[in-house]
Amino acid sequence: METTPFKESDPGLPVAGRAAELAKEYKALSTKWLRKRGAWQIVDRVAAIEDIGELADNIGYAPFATAEQKLKVLLEADRPARLEYALGLLREHLAEEEVNDTIRKDVEDGVAKQQKEFLLRRQLEAVRKELAELNGEAGLGGSEDADYRARVEAATLPEKVREAALKEVDKLERSSEQSPEGSWIRTWLDTVLELPWNERSEDAYDLAGARAVLDADHNGLADVKDRIVEYLAVRKRRADQGLGQIGGRRGGAVLALVGPPGVGKTSLGESVARAMGRSFVRVALGGVRDEAEIRGHRRTYVGSIPGRIVRAIKEAGTMNPVVLLDEIDKVGSDYRGDPAAALLEVLDPAQNHTFRDHYLEVELDLSDVVFLATANVMEAIPEPLLDRMDVVRLDGYTEDEKVAIARDHLLPRQLAKAGLAAEQLTVDEAALRRLAAEYTREAGVRNLERAIARILRKVAAQTELGERELPAAVGADDLRALLGRPHHVPEAAQEPTERRTAVPGVATGLAVTGAGGDVLYIEASLADAETGSTGLTLTGQLGDVMKESAHIALSYLRSRGAELELPVTGLRERGIHLHVPAGAVPKDGPSAGITMTTALASLLSGRKVRTDVAMTGEVSLTGRVLPIGGVKQKLLAADRAGVTTVIIPKRNEADLDDVPAEVLERLTVHAVADVREVLRLALEPAEVLVAAA
């Protein structure tokens, strides 16, 4: 132990005075130390010692001094120096004891506080218990933990859920107030108790009334309306016959509404819930990339919550709501898991009666829930997930359906938003038809509603400025003044020289995109023989499958050139360029095969493609026309574009049953099996060219 070094004397202080000061301080510190140890009988003896040498020798009795330090005191001959050294040892020991006393006091204060809090809580619990007994509420009073036990016992929970909840209450009662596990358990118990385990809505079995509700809310969409009515009919028959669940399952429906934007997929969910008399809740899945969003987080994570499915059931307040899984094709996956894979159990009617959320860790019966999933592109939905759903395609509206929707739904809604009454402004049917045909060419009705809103805003502004008086009417001839020139003029309505197919080598195809069906033009040109370029050049952001279709079309024409009377011998020295306009838009798929073949045949023969003809179909190397998908959407797109003749594969003839009758009346559809038939129907006769020349 380091001590203060010896000092022979202080020049400014006489020896006698210095010794007296040291003796006084030594006695004071010794008295303090002895009193802390309880040695009261020695205090007086030390105070009575006058000799400073004898006073310094008392350090030899101190237990904190080492043998070496005691020997050093005895060997020091100078008595003041000896006393000063002993005083230094005493000072250091007392300073060390003060630090230890401070630490000990802090620890004792903390323990005393915990003991005091424990005793007060026990007393509070006893007081609450006494008050509950006085008020006749025995068994319901007590601590917060006892309140949870009473709530669990009073709740109507399934047996397994009750057992799990009581186990958590036992853990809560054994845990201390400072334990973070207590707050986790309370949050879990609150979630379990708030779920509507035994709450169910009574289905409205008035099938005619349900169909009337669906028809009033949406025009068309017969397939999904029929599916809901069929579901209710089966439920009604089982209820009338007293039949219960099917193998523990209640037979809920899982429907996938697939179609372009704006056809009413999302709003259809609310109509279905209203028709069935059930609660409705929407779960937005667009951009969800974390599996825990569907199945919940484990309770060990800070801030863990149940998944979106459990939260939807809690929000609905019943165990049999209509849950709309919106934009299911926009679900992504990354390092946090695949939410689409987590939906497999949710949407599987054979499994969802025992769905387990990671947060709840108890079985939740979802078999009575009607799930409606919406998507724009069916190919973007994983195949295992798609296999668990009944797919209902919404391929867009015809022009007549758009006019009816605009008249019955869109116009009244926009009139209310614009602050106009129905008798103040009328938009006649001719104006609505022209809006749908020439201003907003789309599969749905969103742009049509925007166009109607723009008309009403302009009328409202003109009225406020005094430029127009109400009541007023808007006709087809007024649209140009209100909205400007039409954006979508049919190809057939243009001048013959302005049409795309006015020159050989251009053919009209039909395609399907995420926004519905659309018209696709394919252009072909021959390189000059003097340039020396050969081969096939493809542009327009084409995918691998579409590029292969172009090579197949060229190979077929080269092999059958003599039969088709096409000059293909000179292609060795001349290159062919095939372009699909809208080059910024990626395109892929085999359905443009016969369109590419027709464009190349038109280029080589010099015969133009008919303006009123559009086509779709895959071509094989032997010239067969193979089936494709999306026939209904493509025919609707052809009808919107003003095309009157459509060529489709022979094996797609059965798909015509899904096309509205009024569309088929306006179109002439040819189902072909061979490319030769396509060329015969699509190319203008050679004699027409001679006459024109």
DSSP H helices in 175-221: 180-194, 207-217
The amino acid that residue 245 corresponds to is Q
Q: Catalytic positions, please? A: 591, 634
- Six-digit token string for 25: 């301080």
Residue 593: what are its φ and ψ, rounded to 5°? -60, -50
User: In residues, how long is the chain?
Assistant: 693
Half-sphere exposure of 208 (CA within 13 A, CB side): 0
Q: For residue 59, give the DSSP letter.
A: G
Q: Please give the full DSSP string across 521-541, using - where no structure is assigned.
A: EEEEEEPPGGG---SEEEESS
Cα radius of gyration (the chain): 45
Contacts of 675 (CB under 8 A, 6+ apart): 556, 594, 597, 619, 623, 624, 625
Distance CA 148, CA 165 (A): 9
Q: How far apart, in Å, are the Cα atoms of 453 and each of 101, 267, 411, 421, 466? A: 82, 19, 8, 14, 20
Pairwise CA distance, residues 128 & 111, whole Å: 26
Whether cis (ω within 30° of 0) applies to the bond prior to 471 is yes
Q: 646 forms bridges with which residues in the sheet?
A: 614, 669
Residue with tokens 């620890």: 107
Spacing of C-alpha 2 from chain mean position: 70
CA distance 627 to 619: 9
Nearest to 653 by CA among 677, 633, 632: 632
The Cα-based distances of 645 to 523, 594, 667 in angstroms read: 20, 15, 6
Hey, what are 427's tokens? 């938009």
How far apart CA 149 and CA 170 sit, in angstroms, is 8
Q: Which of 266, 262, 261, 256 is nearest to 224 (CA)?
A: 256
**What is the C-alpha separation between 100 and 81, in angstroms, rounded?**
29
Widest Cα–Cα separation across the chain: 149
Helix (H, G, I), strand (E, B), or coil: what is residue 332? coil
Angstrom distance (rounded) from CA 654 to CA 662: 17
